[in-house]
Amino acid sequence: MRQTLAHASWVNQAELLNRAFSARYVRRHSFRSPEQMRRHLKESAPEYNRLYAHPFRWTFTPTNSSAGTIAMTAKSLRLYDQVH
């Protein structure tokens, strides 16, 4: 059996997306009903994809795991700081 490394997990990527999306589209809103929140999220997704979602170059290899992880973390933090 082969295990996915913790820092390469798709779950981590999903958590990052959730955090970034929530910071921009959920945190400062007040919703009167679950339906209103669902509608807002559906309407916000295309804007998020257009403005913020973009591909990144995966730099992880077994020989440079530490360097790749550090480089990707640093880039993520710079992007996060630019919007906050």
Mean residue pLDDT of the chain comes to 75
Average the pLDDT over 49-69 and give the result.
69
What confidence score (pLDDT) does residue 3 get? 60
pLDDT in tens, 11-49: 777 788 888 888 888 888 899 999 999 999 999 989 988
Instruction: Return the half-sphere exposure (C-beta side, CA atoms, 13 A cut-off) of residue 84.
Output: 13
Residues 39, 72: one domain? no
In a domain, 67, yes or no: yes
Query: Looking at the predicted structure, is the pLDDT value of residue 8 above 90?
Result: no
In a domain, 68, yes or no: yes
Q: Is the pTM of this model over 0.75?
A: no
Residues 36, 67: one domain? no
Q: pLDDT tier at 54 (50, 70, 90 boundaries)?
A: confident
Instruction: Return the half-sphere exposure (C-beta side, CA atoms, 13 A cut-off) of residue 43.
Output: 7
Residues 66, 33: one domain? no
Contact 53, 34 (CB under 8 A): no
Query: Looking at the predicted structure, is the pLDDT value of residue 76 above 70?
Result: no
Residues 83, 68: one domain? yes
In a domain, 80, yes or no: yes
